[in-house]
C-alpha cells in the first residue's frame, strides 16, 4: 500500500512537471541522452587510439598513423565538446524548471488551501501545514533539480556502458556484472537506512519548527508562568531527536560512498588482472576456446568504462535518499492538494437590483444600493428576484462538530430585519457555533436555516458571506496600514468611506492619535495596539461593508463601557433596518435587543426581552445579576 502510494506520488510528480514544462523537459532529456552517450563514446575512441595508432605506431609508417591520430583526436574532441554543450544547456534549463516548479507547487497549494473548509484548519496543526510549504518543497527542489536529472543520466550511462562492454568482451562484462550486483546490494542496505532516517529527519524538523512557532506565539504565557526552563528542556528533546535522525541519515549516507569506491577499486584491479591474462594469451598466441582474445586498447577502454561504471553507481547511491525524501515531500504536498475543497452546491446569487415602473425587482448592471437574491428555477426555466433584507430563520437546527456529538439541539429562532437578537449563555454554550452556521463555516445536521425565505444551502457561499458583516470573536489584523485593514471589509471602499466607518464605530478618535494616523503600519496581528483598539478596527471593518445583516461575536468585550455606548450609538445608526446578532457577556450590550436567547448546553432555554427575562428570574437573571454566585 505504502509502496503503491510512493509510486503514485512519483508518477504524479513527473506528470505534474510535464504539465507545466513539456518542451523544456523534452529538451533536457535529449541533452542528457547526448551527454551520457558522449561520455561513453569518447571512451570507445580511446580503444581505437591505442589499437590503431599507438600499438602499430612502432612498425607501420609514421604518416598514416599521424593522420589517423589527428582524426581520432579531433572526433574525440568534438564528442567531448558536444557533451559539455549538452550539459550546459540542460543544467541551465533545469535551474529554471526547478524554481518554476516550486513556484507552481506553492501557488497551487495556496490556491487549494484557500478552497478548504474551516474544518480542515480545525483538525490540522498549523506548523505542520507550514512545513509543507517550506521543508517539503525544499525536498522537492533537491529532487527535481539534482536527483532526477542525475538518475536519468546515470541510468542511460549504465546502459551505454554495459552495451559497449558487451561489444568488447563478454567475460570481462560478467566480472563487472558480479561487482555491480554487489554494489547495488550495498546501496540498498546503507542507502535504504539513510533514506529512512532522511525522511524521519524531515518529520523531526517539522515538529521542531512547530514547537518554535508555538513558543514564539505564546512567549508572554511562557514568561508569566516562568516556563522558560521547561520549554528549553522540551526543545532539547526535539532537537536531540532531529540530531539523531540527521546523524544517522548522514552517517549511513557518508559511509556508502567510500565503501562503493573501494569495491569499485577492487573491481578495477580484478579487471586489470583478468584483462592482462587475456592479452597475454593474444601475445603468446595461446588460443583458449570460447574466450575472446582482446587487445591492449580494449583493456584500457574497458578499465576506463569500469571506472565510469562504479562512479555512476556511486552517483545513483548518493541520490537514493534524496529521492526518498523528495517522494515523501511530494506525497505530503499532494496530500494537501487532494484535501476535499469546501463544497458549494448553491446556485442562488446576490445581484444589484432596481425596481421597474410596476415596482418589480429587476437585475441592474450597476451598484444601486439595492440588492436581490437571484433564484433560477430549473423546472420552469424562470428566474425570481427576492430583495435582500436580512431576514433569518432557524427551524429545529441540530449540529455537531463531530458527527456523533451534538453541540446544538433543536434551535429555532427568527430575526426580522431591523431586529437585534442577542445570544447569551455560559462559556461553551454554543453561541459562536450558531453564528458559524449562519455563515456556513459548517453545515447543519438537521433542520433548516432560511435567509430571506431561501434555504441557505441554495445560496452560493461567497454571496451569502458577502451579505453578512461579521465581527469574529478572535480579532485578526493583517500586515498593512490601519486603512488597509478597515478596507478589508469591502475592497472597493474609498478612504472617505473607511474613515466614515471608523467615525461611526468610534475607532476614529484613537486612530487619529496614532503616530501616522490611518497610515500606521500594523504587523504581527496588530500587536502594537491594545485589545480594545484592535476590536474597534475590526468593528469598523464590518461597518465599511455595510451589509444587511451583522453578526457581532463578543465584539465589544475588551472595550470600556463608555466607548461601548458610543460604538453602540454609531452601530445603531448604521444598523437601522438591518438584522443584528450580538453575542455578549455584558448586560449593557444586550439589554436593548428585541429578543434575547439564553443558551445552555446547546439548547435555547429562555427567550424574550430583557425586562421579561429579568422578571422571570431564570438563568438570564442569574447570569446578569450575579445571583448565580450569591445563591
Q: Which one of 87-95, 137-145, 407-415, 427-435 is the stretch in contact with Mg ion (CB under 5 A)?
A: 427-435
Residue with cell 464590518: 542
Minimal distance, residue 471 CB to Mg ion, in Å: 12
How many other CB atoms sit within 10 Å of the CB of residue 531?
A: 12
- Alpha-carbon span 222 to 230, nearest angstrom: 9
- Site residues for ligand ATP, window 119-178 (CB under 6 A)? 122
How many other CB atoms sit within 10 Å of the CB of residue 60?
A: 13
Q: Chain-centre distance of CA 142, in angstroms? A: 17
- Alpha-carbon span 463 to 344, nearest angstrom: 11
Choice between 318 and 551, CB closer to ligand ATP = 551
Minimal distance, residue 127 CB to ligand ATP, in Å: 18
Choice between 473 and 479, CB closer to Mg ion = 473
Minimal distance, residue 147 CB to Mg ion, in Å: 49
Choice between 153 and 431, CB closer to ligand ATP = 431
Choice between 231 and 432, CB closer to Mg ion = 432
Three-class secondary structure assignment of 386-448: EECCCCEEEEEEEECCECCECCEEEEEEEECCCCEEEEEECCCCCHHHHHHHHCCCCCCCEEE
Minimal distance, residue 538 CB to ligand ATP, in Å: 16
H or E, element range at 582: strand 579-583
Choice between 99 and 473, CB closer to Mg ion = 473
Choice between 293 and 605, CB closer to Mg ion = 605
- Alpha-carbon span 567 to 539, nearest angstrom: 9
| Contact partner, 401, from Mg ion, ligand ATP, none, Cβ < 5-8 Å per class | ligand ATP
Minimal distance, residue 191 CB to Mg ion, in Å: 53
Q: What's the DSSP call for residue 133? A: I
Binding mask 438-477 for Mg ion (x = CB under 5 A): -----------------------------------x----
**Among 330, 331, 335, which Cα is nearest to 120's?**
335
Q: What's the DSSP call for residue 518? A: G
Choice between 195 and 433, CB closer to ligand ATP = 433
**Among 540, 437, 423, 556, which Cα is nearest to 487's?**
540
- Site residues for ligand ATP, window 73-112 (CB under 6 A)? none
- Site residues for ligand ATP, window 419-478 (CB under 6 A)? 425, 427-433, 473
- Alpha-carbon span 525 to 480, nearest angstrom: 10
Choice between 466 and 603, CB closer to ligand ATP = 603
C-alpha angle with apex 399: 393 to 405, nearest 5 degrees?
160
Distance set, CA 41 to CA 80, 327, 431, 522 (Å):
9, 33, 76, 64
Choice between 119 and 416, CB closer to ligand ATP = 119
Cell of 452: 430571506
C-alpha angle with apex 516: 511 to 519, nearest 5 degrees?
80
- Alpha-carbon span 317 to 254, nearest angstrom: 10
| Contact partner, 433, from Mg ion, ligand ATP, none, Cβ < 5-8 Å per class | ligand ATP
Residues 6+ apart with CB under 8 A from 452: 373, 386, 387, 388, 389, 390, 391
How many residues bind Mg ion, per CB under 5 A?
Answer: 2
Q: Could you write out the DSSP letters of every residue in 334-352? A: HHHHHSPPPP----BEEEE
- Alpha-carbon span 55 to 296, nearest angstrom: 8
Q: Is 596 in the site for ligand ATP (CB under 6 A)?
A: no
- Residue number of the CB closest to Mg ion reads 432
How many residues bind ligand ATP, per CB under 6 A?
Answer: 12
Minimal distance, residue 564 CB to ligand ATP, in Å: 17
Q: Is 432 in the site for Mg ion (CB under 5 A)?
A: yes
- Site residues for Mg ion, window 251-280 (CB under 5 A)? none
- Alpha-carbon span 119 to 342, nearest angstrom: 9
CA torsion sign for 250, 253, 256, 257 is negative
Q: Is 557 in the site for Mg ion (CB under 5 A)?
A: no
445: left (phi over 0), alpha (psi -120 to 50) or beta: alpha
- Alpha-carbon span 609 to 321, nearest angstrom: 69
Minimal distance, residue 531 CB to Mg ion, in Å: 16
Choice between 540 and 552, CB closer to Mg ion = 552
Through-space distance between the first and last CA atoms of the chain, rounded to whole angstroms: 62
| Contact partner, 122, from Mg ion, ligand ATP, none, Cβ < 5-8 Å per class | ligand ATP
Choice between 198 and 424, CB closer to ligand ATP = 424
Minimal distance, residue 20 CB to ligand ATP, in Å: 36
Choice between 51 and 600, CB closer to ligand ATP = 600
Q: Is 401 in the site for ligand ATP (CB under 6 A)?
A: yes
Please tell me whether residue 191 adopts helix, strand or coil conformation.
helix
Minimal distance, residue 428 CB to ligand ATP, in Å: 4
Binding mask 472-511 for Mg ion (x = CB under 5 A): -x--------------------------------------
Are residues 35 and 162 in contact, defined by beta-carbon separation less than 8 angstroms?
no
**Among 325, 124, 332, which Cα is nearest to 210's?**
124
Figure out which of the listed residues 407, 483, 549, 571 binds ligand ATP, where binding follows CB under 6 A: 407
| Contact partner, 264, from Mg ion, ligand ATP, none, Cβ < 5-8 Å per class | none
Q: Is 619 in the site for ligand ATP (CB under 6 A)?
A: no
Binding mask 235-274 for ligand ATP (x = CB under 6 A): ----------------------------------------
**Sites of contact with Mg ion (CB under 5 A):** 432, 473
Can you give the binding site for ligand ATP, defined by CB under 6 A?
Answer: 122, 401, 407, 425, 427-433, 473
Amino acid at each position: 500500500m505504502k509502496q503503491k502510494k510512493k509510486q503514485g506520488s512519483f508518477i504524479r510528480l513527473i506528470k505534474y512537471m510535464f504539465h507545466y514544462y513539456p518542451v523544456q523537459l523534452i529538451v533536457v532529456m535529449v541533452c542528457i541522452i547526448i551527454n551520457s552517450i558522449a561520455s561513453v563514446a569518447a571512451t570507445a575512441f580511446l580503444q581505437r587510439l591505442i589499437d590503431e595508432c599507438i600499438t602499430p605506431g612502432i612498425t607501420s609508417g609514421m604518416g598514416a598513423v599521424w593522420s589517423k591520430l589527428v582524426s581520432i583526436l579531433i572526433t574525440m574532441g568534438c564528442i567531448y565538446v558536444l557533451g559539455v554543450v549538452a550539459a550546459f544547456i540542460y543544467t541551465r534549463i533545469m535551474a529554471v524548471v526547478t524554481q518554476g516548479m516550486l513556484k507552481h507547487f506553492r501557488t497551487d497549494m495556496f490556491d487549494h488551501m484557500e478552497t478548504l473548509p474551516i474544518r480542515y484548519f480545525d483538525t490540522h496543526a498549523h506548523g505542520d501545514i507550514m512545513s509543507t510549504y517550506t521543508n517539503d518543497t525544499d525536498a522537492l527542489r533537491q529532487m527535481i533539480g539534482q536527483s532526477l536529472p542525475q538518475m536519468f543520466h546515470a541510468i542511460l550511462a549504465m546502459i551505454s556502458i554495459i552495451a559497449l562492454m558487451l561489444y568488447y568482451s563478454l567475460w570481462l562484462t560478467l566480472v563487472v556484472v558480479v561487482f555491480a550486483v554487489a554494489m547495488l546490494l550495498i546501496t540498498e542496505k546503507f542507502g535504504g537506512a539513510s533514506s529512512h532516517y532522511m525522511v524521519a529527519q524531515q518529520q523531526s524538523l517539522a515538529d521542531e519548527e512547530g514547537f518554535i512557532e508555538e513558543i514564539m506565539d505564546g512567549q508572554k504565557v511562557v514568561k508569566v508562568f516562568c516556563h522558560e526552563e521547561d520549554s528549553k528542556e522540551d526543545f532539547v528533546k526535539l532537537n536531540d531527536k532531529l540530531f539523531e535522525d540527521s546523524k544517522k541519515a548522514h552517517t549511513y549516507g557518508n559511509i556508502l560512498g567510500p565503501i562503493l569506491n573501494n569495491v569499485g577499486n577492487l573491481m578495477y584491479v580484478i579487471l586489470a588482472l583478468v584483462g592482462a591474462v587475456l592479452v597475454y594469451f593474444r601475445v603468446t598466441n595461446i588460443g583458449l576456446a570460447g574466450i575472446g582474445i582482446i587487445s591492449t586498447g580494449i583493456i584500457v577502454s574497458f578499465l576506463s568504462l569500469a571506472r565510469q561504471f562504479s562512479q555512476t553507481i556511486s552517483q545513483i547511491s548518493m541520490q537514493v535518499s534524496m529521492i526518498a525524501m523528495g517522494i515523501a515531500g511530494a506525497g505530503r504536498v499532494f496530500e494537501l492538494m487532494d484535501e476535499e475543497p469546501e463544497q458549494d452546491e448553491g446556485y442562488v446569487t446576490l445581484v444589484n437590483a432596481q425596481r421597474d415602473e410596476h415596482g418589480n425587482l429587476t437585475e441592474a448592471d450597476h451598484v444601486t444600493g439595492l440588492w436581490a437574491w437571484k433564484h433560477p428555477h430549473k423546472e420552469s426555466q424562470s428566474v425570481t428576484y427576492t430583495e435582500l433584507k436580512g431576514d433569518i430563520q432557524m427551524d429545529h437546527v441540530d449540529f455537531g462538530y463531530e458527527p456523533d456529538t451534538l453541540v446544538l439541539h433543536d434551535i429555532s429562532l427568527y430575526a426580522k430585519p431591523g431586529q437585534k437578537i442577542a445570544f447569551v449563555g455560559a462559556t461553551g454554550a454554543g453561541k459562536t457555533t450558531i453564528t458559524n452556521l449562519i455563515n456556513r463555516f459548517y453545515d447543519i445536521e438537521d433542520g433548516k436555516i432560511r435567509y430571506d425565505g431561501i434555504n441557505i444551502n441554495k445560496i452560493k457561499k461567497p454571496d451569502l458571506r458577502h451579505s453578512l458583516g461579521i465581527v469574529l470573536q478572535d480579532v485578526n489584523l493583517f500586515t498593512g496600514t490601519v486603512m488597509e485593514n478597515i478596507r478589508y471589509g469591502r475592497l472597493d471602499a474609498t478612504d472617505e468611506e473607511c474613515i466614515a466607518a471608523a467615525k461611526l464605530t468610534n475607532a476614529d478618535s484613537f486612530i487619529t492619535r496614532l503616530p501616522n494616523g490611518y497610515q500606521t503600519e500594523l504587523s504581527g496581528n496588530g500587536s502594537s495596539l491594545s485589545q480594545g483598539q484592535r476590536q474597534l478596527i475590526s468593528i469598523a471593518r464590518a461597518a465599511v461593508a455595510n451589509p444587511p445583516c451583522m453578526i457581532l461575536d463578543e465584539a465589544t468585550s475588551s472595550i470600556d463601557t463608555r466607548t461601548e455606548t458610543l460604538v453602540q450609538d454609531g452601530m445603531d445608526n448604521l444598523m437601522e433596518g438591518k438584522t443584528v446578532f450580538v453575542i455578549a457577556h455584558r448586560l449593557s450590550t444586550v439589554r436593548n435587543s428585541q429578543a434575547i436567547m439564553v443558551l445552555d448546553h446547546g439548547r435555547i432555554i429562555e427567550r424574550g426581552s430583557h425586562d421579561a427575562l429579568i422578571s422571570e428570574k431564570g438563568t438570564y437573571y442569574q447570569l446578569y445579576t450575579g445571583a448565580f454566585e450569591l445563591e
